[in-house]
């Protein structure tokens, strides 16, 4: 671990495989299971191999190779209770949750886990999840306006004894939640994550979110996003942290790793990938400047749901570790990782990749250090 003043080592999270079909839309063998027993074993393994966070996915109906899904908040609580240190982030959709009810659930989960609950507010890309439940499907920027109010309501409930809020989507009248979530230095309430890629998503992150998750990006792509979100955050006297999605394929040789990627794409479920691509691209096309997620994603990119191949964490442990540290130097605070065969590859990551990451970080010149975080409000 780096001892440079002001430098924080990069953190790691993993996608919880609580949805069937694995993390790639491919017919390649994936020795990964969506059931609880497998995920409980994985969570313990992950927290003992360098992972600080886990993100439970949210799907409500079958879609694009994902026939079965476990609900994210209940699954997250189960994983919290099965672990000792892992922080588990439950993905939720505004529009399908009332924020006061979620605030209560997460406060309870926070107490049961000793302060390790977190939430990822997902504005939504899958229209059928709303319309088949009889809920309205809002236009893109309206979904983000609703998400911003949702986050403001969560924070107000968690930090005020007389919560008040008057918005277009949500209202509070002298609401007092007890018990409040556990508070600690630098963490006044459960951490609030969000995703997105559009102008609306970036602006929202700068104004209200603790963490901004990006789809897979190369160095230039993530630098541009970080710069834009930071500019908005600075205007509001805030600091946002940044997570980057990446699908990690580390093997003893570069040729082995590249062959795995080649096979994943060669065995892609073409119908499912094309269906997914058609569904998600409407989200970005509905924005004014068409900057939404997946707008420039190729077929290969879409084989991994969140453009994870683009981050290029593919190669030997040394190559992957070097690239991870380069992302850290550019402002990425956390890598959100997916794997083909979770149990084997998480253990391999902890044994082979992580020690090199920490060694490289220790060698960083102090001039590359990033600022210490300030409290997020």
> Is the pLDDT assigned to residue 4 strictly greater than 60?
no
> Is the pLDDT assigned to residue 1 strictly greater than 80?
no
* Total residues belonging to the chain: 377
Closest CA to 294 of 284, 309, 304: 284
Does the residue 242 lie in any domain?
yes
Does the residue 371 lie in any domain?
no
**What percent of the chain lies above the pLDDT cut of 90?**
81
What's the CA gap between 152 and 167, in Å, rounded? 10
Under the banding of pLDDT at 50, 70 and 90, the label for residue 200 is very high
List the domain range (segments joined by +) for residue 91: 11-365
| pLDDT tens by residue, 238-247 | 999 999 999 9
Helix (H, G, I), strand (E, B) or coil at 213: strand
Write out the H or E segment, with its range, that includes residue 109. Answer: helix 99-113
Write out the H or E segment, with its range, that includes residue 15. Answer: strand 11-16
Does the residue 2 lie in any domain?
no
For the segment 263-283, the average pLDDT, to the nearest whole number, is 81
| pLDDT tens by residue, 88-135 | 999 999 999 999 999 999 999 999 999 999 999 999 888 999 999 999
Determine the Cα angle at 327 with ends 322 and 330, to 5°. Answer: 130
Under the banding of pLDDT at 50, 70 and 90, the label for residue 277 is confident
Q: What is the CATH number of the domain that holds 171?
A: 3.20.20.30
Domain count, the chain: 1
Q: Which two tokens stand for residue 41?
A: 């074993």
| pLDDT for 376 | 43
For the segment 68-96, the average pLDDT, to the nearest whole number, is 98
Does the residue 3 lie in any domain?
no
- pTM recorded for the entire structure: 0.91
| pLDDT tens by residue, 206-242 | 999 999 999 999 999 999 999 999 999 999 999 999 9
For the residues of 239-292, what is the DSSP string, one character each? --EEEEEEE-EE-SSHHHHHHHHHHHHHTB-HHHHHHHHHHHHHHHHTSTT--S
Q: What angle in degrees, to the nearest 10, is found between the helix axes of 140-159 and 199-208?
A: 10
Does the residue 210 lie in any domain?
yes
> Is the pLDDT assigned to residue 11 strictly greater than 90?
yes
Q: Which two tokens stand for residue 48?
A: 């003992």
> Is the pLDDT assigned to residue 285 strictly greater than 60?
no
Longest dimension (CA), the chain: 62
Does the residue 374 lie in any domain?
no
What's the CA gap between 144 and 139, in Å, rounded? 9
> Is the pLDDT assigned to residue 142 strictly greater than 80?
yes
What's the CA gap between 328 and 312, in Å, rounded? 14
Does the residue 377 lie in any domain?
no
Q: How many helices (H) and strands (E) does the chain have?
A: 13, 12
For the segment 135-151, the average pLDDT, to the nearest whole number, is 96
Number of alpha carbons in the 13 Å side-chain half-sphere of residue 191: 26
What average pLDDT is seen over the chain?
91
What's the CA gap between 131 and 135, in Å, rounded? 5
Does the residue 375 lie in any domain?
no
């Amino acid at each position: 671990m780096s001892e440079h003043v002001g430098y924080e080592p990069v953190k790691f999270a993993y996608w919880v495989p609580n949805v069937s079909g694995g993390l790639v839309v491919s017919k390649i063998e994936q020795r990964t299971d969506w059931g609880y027993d497998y995920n409980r074993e994985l969570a313990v393994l992950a927290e003992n191999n360098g992972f600080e966070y886990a993100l439970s996915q949210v799907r409500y109906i079958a879609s694009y190779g994902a026939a079965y899904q476990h609900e994210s908040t209940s699954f997250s609580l189960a994983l919290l209770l099965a672990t000792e240190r892992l922080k588990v982030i439950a993905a939720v959709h505004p529009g399908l949750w009332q924020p006061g009810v979620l605030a209560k659930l997460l406060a309870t989960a926070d107490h049961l886990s000793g302060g390790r609950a977190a939430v990822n507010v997902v504005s939504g890309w899958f229209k059928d999840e709303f319309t088949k439940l009889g809920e309205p499907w809002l236009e893109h920027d309206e979904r983000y306006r609703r998400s911003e109010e949702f986050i403001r309501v969560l924070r107000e409930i968690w930090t005020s004894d007389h919560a008040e809020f008057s918005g277009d989507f949500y209202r509070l009248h002298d609401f007092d939640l007890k018990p409040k979530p556990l508070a600690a230095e630098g963490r006044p309430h459960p951490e609030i994550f969000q995703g997105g890629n559009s102008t609306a998503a970036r602006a929202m992150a700068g104004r209200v979110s603790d963490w901004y998750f990006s789809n897979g990006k190369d160095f230039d792509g993530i630098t541009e996003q970080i710069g834009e979100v930071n500019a908005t955050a600075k205007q509001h006297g805030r600091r946002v942290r940044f997570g980057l999605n990446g699908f990690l394929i580390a093997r003893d040789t570069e040729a082995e790793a590249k062959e795995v990627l080649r096979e994943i794409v060669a065995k892609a479920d073409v119908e499912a990938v094309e269906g997914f691509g058609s569904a998600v691209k409407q989200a970005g096309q509905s924005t004014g400047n068409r900057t939404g997620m997946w707008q420039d994603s190729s077929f290969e990119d879409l084989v991994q749901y969140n453009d994870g191949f683009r981050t290029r964490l593919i190669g030997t442990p040394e190559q992957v570790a070097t690239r991870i540290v380069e992302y850290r130097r550019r402002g990425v605070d956390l890598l959100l990782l997916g794997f083909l065969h979770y149990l084997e590859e998480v253990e391999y990551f902890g044994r082979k990749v992580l020690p090199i990451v920490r060694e490289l970080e220790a060698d960083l010149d102090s001039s590359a250090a990033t600022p210490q975080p300030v409290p997020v409000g």
